[in-house]
Structure 1
C-alpha cells in the first residue's frame, strides 16, 4: 500500500525553451478543488497558468462532499496514520485561511456497545487529538446523553457519547475562492471549456480547447497537469496523446459514488452527529442551512459515466434507516427535501470494500518528453498540501523549483482586519466581522446578511450597496440583482444552478416557481424580471 501512494519524483528537465513559443507554462485540465488548487499554487510562484474545466467550477465531485474539513477518524482503523496526520494539519491551515467558509464544528459520537467497544473509540480519539498539533479546536470529551442536551433528539437507550472536533466547509465556494485567488495571481481560468485533445512531443504540449459557445482554440504549454478527477484515467487514454504510440495511462481509478440526503431539521443545536453503522461505516448528520439536516454518505462502486451518477433507492433507504437507528424521530424517504451525489476518484488499491479504499493521493509525473503530472485520488481537506507537492514536482520538471507559499496565505475574503481587530481565533473574528457588517448594512435582514457574510467574507462590500434601492431588483427573497451581476462578472456564474446550488444553497429555500424565475433571469428573459 505505502509504495502505491508515494509521490513519483520526476527527472530534472534540462532542455532550454524559448518562452515566447508557449502561450503558458502549465495547462491544468480540470476545475475541481485539486485543479484550482494547483493552478493557484503555480500562479503564486510566478508561472503562467491556464486552467480549463468542461463544466462549472467544482460542478461534480468537489461540490458533492459531506462538507467536512476533517482528519478522517475512521481511516485510523485502516492504519492510514500518515493520511490522518496530514489531514489534521491541513484542518487548522484551512480554518485560518478561510474563516468565512470554514468553521469549527463539534461532533457527537454516541456509543453503541453492539458496534465498536468503548476502549477502541477512546484510543482512536486519543490518537485523533494528538497525531498533529491542534491550536484552534478543543479536544475530546465524554458526555452523559441522559442529562446532556445533545441526547434529547436521540433514542433513549443511548446513554453515553464522545464529543470531538473537526471543521465544516462550504465546498463549492471553496473551489470558487481558490480559482479567484489563482486568477488574481495571473492564472487564466476557462470554464465550460473542454480539452478535446492534447499532443505531446519533446518540446511541449499543443492542446485544442473547445468552449461551449465559440470557436475552438489551440494553446501551447510547456507542461500539462491532469486534474480531471473521475475522468483522469479517461483523459490520459483519450485526450492526452504522446508523439509516438506509447500510452500515457498506466494506473486505474476506482470510482465510488457517495450520496447525501437533506431533511427538515432534526435537532436545534450547532453540533453534528457521527453514527456507527452495522457495516462499520460512519454516517454523519450535520446542521445545514438553518432549517435542515444533512445526512451522508454512502460508498457504492460506480461502473457508468460519472456525469450520470444519481442516488438510487437502495442508498436512499440505507441513509434513512441508519439515521433512524439513532434519532427518536424516524427519518423517512418522503421527508427528503433534496439529495445529491458525487463520484470520488479513488486510487485503486484492490480493496474489496469501497469504504476501505484509501483517500490518500498519488502524484505521478512523467518527464521522458514534455512534462505531464497526473493527480490520482485525494480528499477535500488535503487539497492545499496536494497542490503544494504538485507545484514542486512541476517546478522540478520545468527545471526551476520555486518556493512554496500557500500555508500561511488567506483566501479571498478571509482577512477581516479592515473590519475588526484579529484575535487569533478565526471563529471569534468572524462573529465580530458579522457585527460590523450588521452595523454598516442595517437595511438588510439578518438571514441574507449572514448568508452573504459567509459567502464573501471581507469582500462583502463588492456585493452589497449602502441601500436596498442601490441593489437593484430583489429577484427572489434574499437575492438581489447586484449579487447576480457580481457572480456573473467575478465568479464565472452562467446558469441558475451555478447561483442557486453552488455559489449559494438558496435553491433549497426557494419554491420551484422562484427557482424558475432565477433561471429566466440568468437566461436574459427581461420580460420575466417584473413578474412577481
Structure 2
C-alpha cells in the first residue's frame, strides 16, 4: 500500500496550490480529483487576479491587502498566463459618490505595496477612446489596474510543478471512504481501473463545493459551506481596445466587462444562493437579463439575451459568515484543522483564486507542528512552469522570430499558454505541416498530443474549454475530428 504525508482531495486551485507547496517542502503528496483538473469552480472564474476593490466596502482590509500583495507575486512568477489589465470605472449619476470612490482607489493603490502596475487616475470619458462605446451621459470615471489570468492553466501549472517535485496527481479518481487507523488514514480510491487503498498521515479536504461530502465520507459531522452561484456570459465584442470596464449597478453590486479571446467580451458575475446540481450549474434567464441590463446602463449599443455566444456558471463554496445576501458573504478563506485524537484532517472553506498561494502557505503553517520534517516556505518567488520570463513582450517576439511559420496570432497564443515550455512542445518541427492535423483555432494534433501526454487532458472538453480556451474557435466539425483523434490515440 502506497503511503503519503498528505492526501489532498480536490484538483482545483486550492488543492493544486497546496500540493505544489507541500511537495517543494519535501513532503510526499497524493492529489486526487474526481474529474479533470479545474473542471469546476476554478475554471468558472472571472479570469482575474485582483485585490477585490468592492471588498473594501465590507471592511475586508486584510483580504484586500493580502490579495494585492499576491497580485504582485503572481504576476512575477507567471507572466505568461497573468497579464496587466487597465480597468475603467465609469461614474454614473446616483451611484457611489466620487469622494468614496477616490478613497477606495487610494487605499487600493497603497494597501499592497504596488510596484509593477500603474496607479489609479480620474478619466474624462467624453471625447476619450475609453468613452467611445459608452452612452453619452456617462462622462466621467476613473482608471485603475489589475490583472487577467488563464484560470484553468494556473491550476494545471501548479499541478505540473507539484508533480515535478515528486507529488502524484491522480485525475478522474474518487475518494470512496477514509478511516482513521491510529494516527494515519487508510483511504479507498476508485478510478477507471477499479479500487485501491492508500495510507496518509494527513487528509487535506480541498473539495470545494463537495467539502461537506468529504467530511461525511470520513464519518465527521458535515460543516457545509454556503454555496453561491456566479454566472458569466460571453458576447460579441462590445468595444475596441485591450482595457476592461467595472460597472456599478443600482443594487450596489458590480459587473465586469472584459476582452475575451479577441472577438468577444466576457461579462460577469452574478451572486445568487445555490442548491442544485453542483456538477452542472447553469445560468438562468434572470441572470442573463441582469447581466444584459448591467451592460445596457452604460453601453450605447444594446445587448440582448440572444446575443450570448456562451455562458458558464461556477459554485463558490464560501465560509458562512451569516451575511444576509450572497454578494456580501466574505471571500476570505477559513482553514479548519481537526486536531482531535487520531489522524488529522484540514478542510478548506472559501477563498479566491488570487490568494490561493497564500492559502497554501497558511494550510501548511497549520500542519507544521505535525510535520516536523517539512521545509520552509518557498513559492513566493519560484516561477511556475514556463514562467521564467523577464519580459513577456520580448519573449513573444522571440517565439515568432524562432518559429515564424507559426504566424503572429498562434505564436502569441502558444507563448502565453506554455511560456518557456513551448520549445519542448514544438521540438524539432520546422513547419505547420509537421505539427499535424489542425482542428480549428490553430489547435494542432501535436499540441493535443502534448496536452494528453503532459497535462492530464483526456477529452475534447478538457482541451477546448480548459487547457486552450479554444471552445469558441473550433466548429462542430473540428470538435468531431478532435474526438476521433483522441479515440485513435487512446486505442
Question: Which TM-score bucket, shorter chain as reference?
Answer: over 0.9
Question: Match of 1:216?
Answer: 195
In the alignment, which of 422, 434, 447 is matched to residue 470 of structure 1?
434
Question: What is the CA distance between 1:22 and its match in structure 2?
Answer: 5.8
> Does 2:250 align with 1:283?
no
Name the stretch that deviates more: 347-356 or 508-517. Answer: 508-517
Q: Deviations over 1:415-469 (max 9, x none)?
A: 13xxxxx3xxxxxx00000101001101112222111111001111122233223
Query: Using a 3 Å threshold, how does the CA distance of structure 1 residues 266 and 477 change in structure 2: closer, same or farther?
Result: closer
Q: Does 1:229 align with 2:191?
A: no
Q: Does 1:448 align with 2:421?
A: no
Match of residue 347 from structure 1: 319
Question: When the two structures are aligned, how many residues end up with a matched partner?
Answer: 488
C-alpha displacement at 1:322, in angstroms? 0.8
Aligned equivalent of 2:287, options 280, 291, 315: 315
* Matching of residue 386 in structure 1 with residue 359 in structure 2: yes
Counterpart of 1:11? Answer: none
Partner of 1:438 in structure 2? 400
Counterparts in 2 of 1:398 and 1:184: CA distance versus 1, 3 Å: same
Match of 2:150 among 155, 159, 170: 170
> Do 2:440 and 2:473's aligned partners in 1 also have CA atoms closer than 8 Å?
no
Please state whether the residue corresponding to 2:293 is helix, strand or coil: helix
- CA distances 1:72-93 after superposition (whole Å, capped 9, x unpaired): 0000100000100000000000
The residue correspondences of 1:370-449 to structure 2 (distance < 5 A) are 370-416=343-389, 422=390, 429-449=391-411
SS in 1 for 2:240: coil
Please state if 1:324 is matched with 2:293: no
- Relative distance call for 1:22 and 1:202 in structure 2 (3 A) is farther
**What's 1:64 paired with?**
44
- TM-score scaled by structure 1? 0.90
Check conservation: 2:400, 2:407, Cα contact below 8 A: no
Q: Is the 8 A contact 1:367 1:397 kept in 2?
A: no
Matches within 5 A, 1:350-369: 350-368=322-340, 369=342
In structure 1, what is the Cα distance between the partners aligned to 2:489 and 2:335? 46
**Could you report, residue by residue, the CA deviation over 1:298-347 in whole angstroms, capped at 9, with x for unpaired residues?**
00100123113100011011111111111111111111111000000000
CA distance 1:407–1:174, shift in 2 (3 Å) = same
1:494-519 CA-to-partner distances (Å, cap 9, x unmatched) read: 00001100001111112222222212
Cα distance in structure 1, aligned partners of 2:419 and 2:374: 33
Structure 1 residue corresponding to 2:423, chosen from 435, 438, 461: 461
Contact in 2 for aligned 1:463/1:483 (Cα 8 Å)? yes
Give structure 1 regions of 4+ aligned residues with deviation exceeding 3 angstroms.
none
2: CA distance, partners of 1:477 / 1:413: 22
Length-normalised TM-score, structure 2: 0.97
**Equivalents in 1 of 2:335, 2:410: separation in Å?**
41
Match of 2:218 in 1: 240
Shift of residue 394, structure 1, vs aligned partner:
2.2
Give the gaps of 5 or more residues in structure 1. 1-20, 242-246, 417-421, 423-428, 528-532
Q: Distance in 2 between matches of 1:524 and 1:331?
A: 43
Cα root mean square deviation, aligned: 1.4
